[in-house]
Structure 1
Amino acid sequence: MTMPTLSVVIPIYNEEAGLPALFARIYPALDALGETYEIIYVNDGSRDRSAALLREQFARRPDVTRALLLAANAGQHMAIMAGFEYCRGEIIVTLDADLQNPPEEIGKLIAKMKEGHDYVGSIRKKRQDSLFRTWASKAMNQLREKITRIRITDQGNMLRAYSRGVVDAINSCKEVATFIPALAYTFARNPAEVVVEHEERVAGDSKYSLYSLIRLNFDLMTGFSLVPLQWFSMLGMLVALGSGTLFVLLIVRRLIFGPEAEGLFTLFALMFFLIGLALFGIGLLGEYIGRIYQQVRLRPRYLIEAVLENDVSVQANVSEANVKVAVAADQRQKKE
């Protein structure tokens, strides 16, 4: 079977309302590129009719459509990892199903990849998100770059292109929690970025709550750097030094002015600050220990319920095997 040049991996989670519009736009957009392609939809345990719509779409375009139906929700990045393990193209593009990144923009990434880059990210032009979300995203981008040294201008945008070599390197990693754009950046030798259009969601709401975004950034910080632990260690040393200095000053003050009752609430405030600092450090340490705990359990990252694909090579092998069995049975009958 001829391997496609392009694989497009699209994670799906409760996107029933927007899938018809996605189907109507992505196939013409990819046909216009003039490249052999496949589209891999990964249903991430959707609770609506997304899986049924994927089955119907597979029946319409089985030549270029493949679908992985996960048994339970594994998260966006694990769904993409599942698609990476099944994709066959030399260039792999990830795309969200909400059409905030138009499928017509995929051509820009392909053109950039053909210039010799092995990883191409995208920067949203005139973002259609809320002001708070845009500001928070920029702030987290700056903090992430300082901590991890990973330079991704727009980390929340999943419209990205990867070479086969980068995807193979990602597939070799067995992390149970990761951030795929950052992981790809660590493997890429010649990364690049392009500016793409950005639109409002066709239907539905964002699947990322504020807690999910915070959770994702914790995974990003702790999964790619030890800097948070090192920063906290240095902060602990500074606090210890400051506490020792304060203790000496209080002793000197007591010897000079005698015992005093004033300043009690100041000491309470200082104590509460130190307790909060200690709890923050325990939580930070818990993040790293939690990642270790999840990793050492060696549980599967996702479970695949069904795979919808039209693999000619597999069908040919099955047919050939059936012919051999029939010939062998016929020969046995003749001998008898």
Structure 2
Amino acid sequence: MPGETAPRLSIVAPMYNEAANVAEFCRRLFAVLAEVPEPWEVVCVDDGSTDRTLELLRAEQRRRPGLRVVRLARNCGQHGAVMAGFAESRGEWVITLDADLQNPPEEIPRLLAAFREGHDLVGTYRVGRRDTRFRKWASRVTNRLITRISGISLRDFGCMLRGYSRRVVDGILRNPEYRTFIPALATFFAANPVEIPVRHEARAGGDSKYSLLKLLGLQLDLMTGFSLWPLRLLFLVGSGLAVAGLAMAALILVLRFVLGAEWAAQGVFTLFAVLFFFVGGQFFALGLLGEYIGRIFQAVRRRPAYLVGEVYEHGDDAP
């Protein structure tokens, strides 16, 4: 039942151009919540949509008590939308999920059961994934790589359906890191986390908002936001290349005296190849260092991760 003053459960759903899914999402979600005994609320965050998402959310809100709508002043990305939802949520338990219905709302009771058992962070991993073969393969490789680099053990970094206790949410809000990854950050504040399997379905409608470039950017955020391992790897690789360069220079010098000047002239292209290899390595290193320095620059400016335009409550004609 909807909570009037103090909901126990908050559902946070970021939305960006999800007009094709709003009605079905609300129908299925509220059907599930109708069976939840604890007081609840639903916080839908419109992340600067350019379609009819906000209009449809307002229409759903007029006939669904417990639905609150937050409109961001501009598109701030999924991270900013989730942070805005966290800030507006009031529940002791907070569950996030996407509006595309790939994570079925019918799985919410399983997360609630984990909360009732005393867990303060409920992670999930998708079984029976309905993605392309390439995307599933890329996800497995990425999960293993990020786990090894960051030391954070999450079986599925890409699943949005997760549960956070109020203590964990407050810890995240007190540390508004620039372009962080919320599920990984939450592990620092959890005392009794757990991971459970959840079903995965095909997208109900619309298009995925995560292009290949955005997915690569997410992996870069994970690496640079939670580990210094890439910098240490650069030091090791650089040291190895320096030793290899000195050895090759010594070899070329010896062959110059053994085989004569004619051989040295004919090896000019080999030297060019070695030069290009080292130059490429330097540009790679500078790019990675630039990513870390850029993150420091963004953090120092302390710009907000999101800008709230309006907050609509049930029964209000105006924000």
Please indicate the TM-score interval, normalised by the length of the shorter structure: over 0.9
Instruction: Tell me which amino acid in the other structure corresponds to 2:42.
Output: I
Partner residue of 1:266 out of 266, 270, 293: 270
Q: Which position in structure 2 is the counterpart of 1:40?
A: 43
Partner residue of 1:94 out of 93, 96, 114: 96
Residue 309 of structure 1 pairs with residue 319 of structure 2: no
CA–CA distance in structure 1, aligned partners of residues 104 and 300 of structure 2: 39
Residue 290 of structure 1 pairs with residue 286 of structure 2: no
Residue 170 of structure 1 pairs with residue 133 of structure 2: no
Shift of 1:255: 2.2
Shift of 1:310: 4.6
In 1, are the aligned partners of 2:121 and 2:193 still within 8 Å (CA)? Answer: yes
Q: What SS does structure 1 have at the residue aligned with 2:240?
A: helix
Q: What SS does structure 1 have at the residue aligned with 2:95?
A: strand
Q: Which position in structure 2 is the counterpart of 1:12?
A: 15
Q: Which runs of 5+ in 1 are unaligned?
A: 313-336
Residue 189 of structure 1 pairs with residue 191 of structure 2: yes
Q: What SS does structure 2 have at the residue aligned with 1:217?
A: helix
CA–CA distance in structure 1, aligned partners of residues 287 and 9 of structure 2: 43
CA–CA distance in structure 2, aligned partners of residues 192 and 266 of structure 1: 55
Instruction: Tell me which amino acid in the other structure corresponds to 2:242.
Output: A
Describe the superposition over 1:88-125 as per-residue Cα deviations: whole angstroms up to 9, x where unpaired.
11110000000001101011111112222111111111
Q: What SS does structure 2 have at the residue aligned with 1:186?
A: coil
Partner residue of 2:238 out of 205, 218, 236: 236
Partner residue of 1:67 out of 66, 69, 88: 69
CA–CA distance in structure 1, aligned partners of residues 92 and 48 of structure 2: 28
Q: Which position in structure 1 is the counterpart of 2:52?
A: 49
Describe the superposition over 1:282-332 as per-residue Cα deviations: whole angstroms up to 9, x where unpaired.
1101111111111111222211110012599xxxxxxxxxxxxxxxxxxxx
Q: Which position in structure 2 is the counterpart of 1:246?
A: 248
Q: What SS does structure 1 have at the residue aligned with 2:309?
A: strand
Partner residue of 1:21 out of 3, 19, 24: 24
RMSD: 1.4
The aligned runs of 1:323-334 (5 Å cut-off) are none
Number of residues paired by the alignment? Answer: 311
Q: What SS does structure 1 have at the residue aligned with 2:187?
A: helix
Instruction: Tell me which amino acid in the other structure corresponds to 2:304.
Output: P
Shift of 1:247: 1.1
Moved more, 202-211 or 52-61: 52-61
Describe the superposition over 1:5-49 as per-residue Cα deviations: whole angstroms up to 9, x where unpaired.
110100000000111110110001011122211000000000000
Shift of 1:263: 2.9
Instruction: Tell me which amino acid in the other structure corresponds to 2:309.
Output: E
In 1, are the aligned partners of 2:83 and 2:306 still within 8 Å (CA)? Answer: no
CA–CA distance in structure 2, aligned partners of residues 283 and 237 of structure 1: 18
Q: Which position in structure 2 is the counterpart of 1:136?
A: 138
TM-score, scaled to structure 1: 0.90
Shift of 1:190: 1.6
Instruction: Tell me which amino acid in the other structure corresponds to 1:7.
Output: S
Shift of 1:204: 0.7
Q: What SS does structure 1 have at the residue aligned with 2:76?
A: coil
Instruction: Tell me which amino acid in the other structure corresponds to 2:269.
Output: F
Q: Which runs of 5+ in 2 are unaligned?
A: none
Q: Which position in structure 1 is the counterpart of 2:210?
A: 208
Describe the superposition over 1:145-168 as per-residue Cα deviations: whole angstroms up to 9, x where unpaired.
111001111111100001111001
Moved more, 32-41 or 266-275: 266-275
Percent identical: 50
Shift of 1:127: 0.3
CA–CA distance in structure 2, aligned partners of residues 234 and 114 of structure 1: 47
Q: Which position in structure 2 is the counterpart of 1:327?
A: none
CA–CA distance in structure 1, aligned partners of residues 256 and 270 of structure 2: 16
Q: Which position in structure 1 is the counterpart of 2:87?
A: 85
